[in-house]
A and B are shown apart, each in its own frame.
Chain A
Amino acid sequence: MRETKMSSHLAGGRLNVALLQETMRTELLNLLQQYSGPKVTIWDDWLAGPVGLVAQYSFLKDHEVNNMFLLKPGSLPNITVKHIIFISRPKLSLMDLVADYILSIRAKQTAPVEFHLFFVPRKSELCKVHLTNRGVVSNMTIEEFKCDIIPFESDVMSLELQNDFRENYIEGDTSCIYNAAQALRTIQQFYGIVPRVFGKGQAAKQVWDLLCRLNKEEQGSGNKGAPTSCIDQLLLLDRAVDFTSVMATQLTYEGLIDEIYRIKSGTATFPGQKFVGPDDPNPEETAREKKHVILNSSEELFAEIRDSDFTEIGAALSKKARIIKTQLDERHKDKSVQEIKHFVSRLPQLLANKQSLVTHTAIAEYIKEKTDSFDFHDKIQCEEDFLNCIDSEKICPYIEDLIAQKEPLTKVLRLICLQCATGSGLKPKILEYYKRELVQTYGLKTWLSICNLEKCGLLKTQQGTRQYTVLRKALHLTTDDSDANDKDKSYLSSKYTPLTVRLSEHIAKNKGWSGIQDVLGLLPGPTVDELQTLQPRMTRRHSGSSENSSSIENPRVVLVFFIGGCTYHEISVLRTISQQEDSVVEFVILTTKIINGTTFIESLMELD
């Protein structure tokens, strides 16, 4: 749980994302306040992080939540307070844990304990039935904590669904489609109907259809939501449309932190060594302990550098160091009382900046160690070759070497999937060779994982056209060094620009698909291009306001919804486009989860 105070990182965007946080926090508070007296919450492991972004531990503590535990098998803390509140997703395995726990407490304890269960984000009949069968439902209150969208930044929101892509594409379980459609309903309730909707891919179409259906179901049931539209366009993107962008290693600062240290719910964990300061009282302690760093834009320095290519970080950090140094050195100059007062008032901010500079310098050093290694360099070289369609038609010796050295399976699979994505499939012979190699080296279980990857289209055999080659040219996915000087360079964090970003950019620029229809044909799944009817009342108001506000100073807001997850790289590039001076668009990102190639592959592998 995080301890930060109010959420400055959510403010400042065109969309008031803090509103979401506020509403959900109030809802949780209302639920908690139903039960007076001290409480203990037991969290579904997966939810603890994301919900922590909505309501911090300190906040819960202020409302008589004495202690928090994670819902895990076996571990049974003895709790003596009156109210025990489970906060869980509606999953049967979790319900079993809840039931086990309640039964064991009942057997042990005589003091009256009241149990409550909050389902996130909605109640499930199935789970209720299951709990009834386990005989624990009778004296337990069941509530619904409708927290389906987790705000990360002023322009990033996530549903934080676990394994959504796997469920949809491997298991045929469309729960994530339903969740996504419900989330869009929530969004539209908060921010108004989005008049223009685009989409690409099977899942995008499914979400859109379901959204229409849900809207129809709820028709006339009172809840009209926000009267004006804050979002101009919605772009639904199925992850299956673009695997390449996931598989390629992210080279932005934030992307690399995620690739190497993994960012979980906005927090990354680093080894302690480099965080030992010169005046640390016990340096060994610090070095041994893991260092948790909260990464969001409330930290000025991080907001500045997070989206930059890592190669620019060194320069940025030293520039910042110089600025801070001059600012701090000002105190030595002769000053009037007034000036000193001014300086002192700025001091906390300066010290915070200094601290964050120290932190990020340490992080950058860790990353640099990694990126300077030959291994890393070779991997990036290999990826770049694939992205530029060099040698992607034959067995890659680098991959062979990796297999021979039994490098981590995810690393190997990621490269093979990248080769497959950029080659628009692998030649049957090559695919077979890789498969055999993998099974021989990593064992039979790998075979099942490979089957999964094939099922969702990450591995496939080549058929006819090389879509990627066409797309690369048509959408300028890669830039050669020769034409690196054009204005694209300013936001490119690597030589590759994600396909999803190019699609979003096109939608934003041309207000539609027009111009790239033939390119869309190369991508899998249907295309969505719809108008959402506004209620008459709303149309009037909206058109009234847009007449005088459609000028340049008020850029259009485009909500890009990644169904199946998106990477920090994609977020960074979209954000950079929004931040460009002549930008007429502001992207807001909604995703089912923030992923990277490794976590993505892991979620698709055969489970233990």
Chain B
Amino acid sequence: MLSRRPAFVHSVCTRLLHSRPLMASDPGRPVETSIRAKLTRALQPEHLEVHNESHMHAVPPGSESHFRVLVVSPHFDGLSLLQRHRLVNDTLKEELSTRVHALAIQAKTPQQWAKDPSLGKSPGCLGGSKGDHTVQQKLQTEQS
């Protein structure tokens, strides 16, 4: 049914299906809140998704150590994949040097997002974080 609608309606429906409301600051999720705020401020995204994937990894429940972000922004026009990812990394430099252990990034222009509005999927954990003292240190930073 969706495919028989005019293209702009399809696009709006797809965006509604995939968009998430901008969440108010959540004291229980400070890292996620910070990531969302910084990416919004730096890249003025048309669409932004921030997913805490820590539960998929060998870290305690409630951790904020592993994230996936999807950023759709005209700022990425003309930039290579590497340049886009470096832009996201630089924006989240503080989080990446303190609390965030892993960050999966999808950085698309609005045109690319319109053609392929899909969120990537992270591979399954192979337990590397278990007993990893650098992850433990980051989690302690988070809890203190």
A and B co-occur in one complex:
no
B residues at A contact (CB < 8 Å): none
A residues at B contact (CB < 8 Å): none
